[in-house]
Structure 1
Amino acid sequence: MSASVDVTSGTLAVPGARLYYELRGKGPLVAIVGAPMHSAPFAPLADLLAADHRVLTMDPRGHFGSVLDDPDADSSPRLRADDLARVIRHVDAGPAAVLGSSGGAVTALALLQDHQGLVRTVIAHEPPLAQLLDDREQQSVATEDTIATYVGGDTLGAVRKFLAGAGLVMPEEVFLQVFGGEKSPDEAASERFFYLHELRSTANWAPDLDALRATTARLVIGIGETSAGQFCDRTSRALASELKVEPMMFPGGHGGFMEDPAAFADRLRKAID
């Protein structure tokens, strides 16, 4: 985090959880959300945007600072969208431009469907919408296999299957560096919650295409410039085709906002403005 950027944090009690959020900067509100990604990996991007925007980031329910009353309660895109809507109302800075990344893009689409008055622009960056693909049944089987692998105790095997399904290729030594080390209690709890209580509902969620076509807010479908042929490239293009909109290309790949935050921020400003 840049030393020149002041960050204020807070928690908000919502049904079944206490949500952790952070605010930076001044100006029109931009909310940045992931699922299961929490607020910390978005910090470099948020710091850059805070130069001319008020930036909201948050931990999705069940991850890191957003603690559930019942750790075994399931999460869904519509529930996370309701959480985000409550935080936007709480900070009293909407309507917002919303960047959702990956599972967070699914959250952002659900927010657009259910809470249109809180949104002026949604940038859905690589939403994993398997239900829009012709091979949706095979995708569902693969999701269940990944979850079963995790439940069976093979956590690295589950990660391998998840990444393979997403088309994300990683050298073995890098994979072991990233995923093979000892996890903190928060990291282990977040991983467990994702596989047991979040992945299935996110992977099987289908957008209401009629509602998205009818929205008065602006919807931008973002795709990474280096994501060609990957699962989320396919799903994003399928959504764009259904809605008859042209996708906007963003620097990098599925995690482009981490690969080059400055270039990603520049492109995001164009999408917002």
Structure 2
Amino acid sequence: MTATVTRTLESTGATLTYDVHGADDRTEGGVGPALFLIGSPMDAAGFASLAAHFTDRTVITYDPRGTGRSARTDGAAETMPEEHGEDLRRVIEAAGAGAVDVFASSGGAVNGLALVARHPDLVRTLVAHEPPLAQVLPDREAALEVCADIHATYLREGMGPAMAKFLVMATRTGPIPANWRDEPAPAPAAFGLPAEDDGTRGDPLLGQNMRGCTAYLPDFAALRAAGTRIVIAEGKESQGQFPARAAAGAAEALGGGTVLFPSHHGGFLGGEYGQQGEPEAFAATLRELLDRG
């Protein structure tokens, strides 16, 4: 990448940190629209491999509130997608890049939909990759109950037992059965997780975002009326799993279908957080989509 500038800005209840890559000559209305890469709870560090394939564009990354370098200042224990959406608005406006293209992953895709529903003029194209929207599933009640149980397990028992449940839920193929409570709780050790509770409760996934993100119901009427081009995507290897099924449900609600991306839920990762996808092929698919816009 060319020059990278790191900045902070004050949002309601948080101090946000964001990075502008290529800021030397393209931040202020330069060559082509800027590309904003967002996740949740994944922070800017998770997009290093993907950003490296877009050195011809200004790339913006950021740490969502309560994650990485973006500290909460309000003491709130949970965050709603509408709050994240307003944070995204503030970052786009502060970056001075005009209307941007957005690639949004997982919870970031949920937040991206919240952004576009309220501020469509700020986003030219939104590629929402596997937003975990339980509300659009036919098994929504069971899915919401599981997500609430993961959050409650975290508060009661700590990270290991809760993360084990999360991994089982996130990778389950097919609908969640109504009698899911009859299934034995997964052992944390089976996933290399600690069973002991270290007493901390600051995990942004299990604590801050789990319930608000999955229970969010997008304003599909506003999204259909928006001038923003919205592409809902799912991974070839993760089809049938909870986030990909939710992507299909969201696409149907918008009146279309999904676009398949290489690899899995984290297909853009190139070793970040110990996960490996197919970042080169993933970036090529993303570039092709954006170029059509």
* 230-239 or 194-203: bigger deviation: 194-203
Q: Which structure dedicates a bigger proportion of its chain to helix?
A: 1
1:14 to 11, 16, 29: 11
**CA contact under 8 A between 2:154 and 2:201: conserved in structure 1?**
no
Residue of structure 2 in register with 1:35 after alignment: 40
State how far apart, in whole Å, the 2-side matches of 1:190 and 1:113 are: 29
Aligned-CA RMSD value: 2.5
TM-superposed CA distance for 1:168, in Å, is 6.0
Note the C-alpha offset of 1:189: 6.8
SS at match of 2:238: coil
Residue 141 of structure 1 aligns with an amino acid whose one-letter code is: E
Sequence identity, in percent?
Answer: 40
Give the TM-score taking structure 1 as reference length: 0.89
Q: Is the CA contact (8 Å cut-off) linking 1:32 and 1:98 kept in structure 2?
A: yes
* CA offset digits 1:191-231 (Å, max 9, x no partner): 2x332332111110001111111111100011111112101
Runs of 4+ in structure 1 over 4 Å off: 179-182
SS at 2:268 equivalent: helix
Partner of 1:158, secondary structure, is: helix
**What SS does structure 1 have at the residue aligned with 2:126?**
strand
Counterpart residue identity of residue 250, structure 1: F
Output aligned runs, 1:100-111, within 5 Å: 100-111=104-115
Q: Match for residue 185 of structure 2?
A: none
Instruction: Tell me the TM-score normalised to structure 2 length.
Output: 0.83
Aligned partner (choices 247, 250, 253) of residue 264 of structure 2: 253
- Kept in 1, the 8 Å contact 2:267–2:282? The answer is yes
Asked if structure 1 preserves the Cα contact closer than 8 Å seen for 2:99 and 2:122, the reply is yes
Q: 1:190: how far off?
A: 5.2
Instruction: Indicate the structure (1 or 2) with the bigger Cα radius of gyration.
Output: 2
| Cα gap change, 1:266 to 1:130, in 2 (>3 Å) | same
Deviations 1:220-261 (A, max 9, x none): 011111112101111111111122223111111000010122
Structural mapping, 1:114-263, within 5 Å: 114-167=118-171, 175-176=191-192, 179-180=193-194, 191=203, 193-258=204-269, 259-263=277-281
Q: What is the match of residue 265 of structure 1? A: 283
Q: CA deviation at 1:16?
A: 1.1
Task: Count the aligned residue pairs.
Answer: 263
Structure 2 unaligned segments of length 5 or more: list them.
Answer: 174-187, 270-276
1:63–1:189 CA contact under 8 A, matched in 2: no
Structure 1 residues 21 and 168 mapped into 2: Cα distance closer, same or farther (>3 Å)? Answer: farther
Match of 2:89 among 76, 85, 91: 85
1:25-104 equivalences in 2 (<5 Å): 25=22, 26=26, 27=31, 28-49=33-54, 51-104=55-108
Gaps of 5+ in 1: 183-187
Superimposed CA distance per residue, residues 51-84 of structure 1 (whole angstroms, 9 cap, x where no aligned partner): 2111000000011100111333431111101001
Other-structure match for 1:185: none
Change (3 A) 1:200 1:173: closer
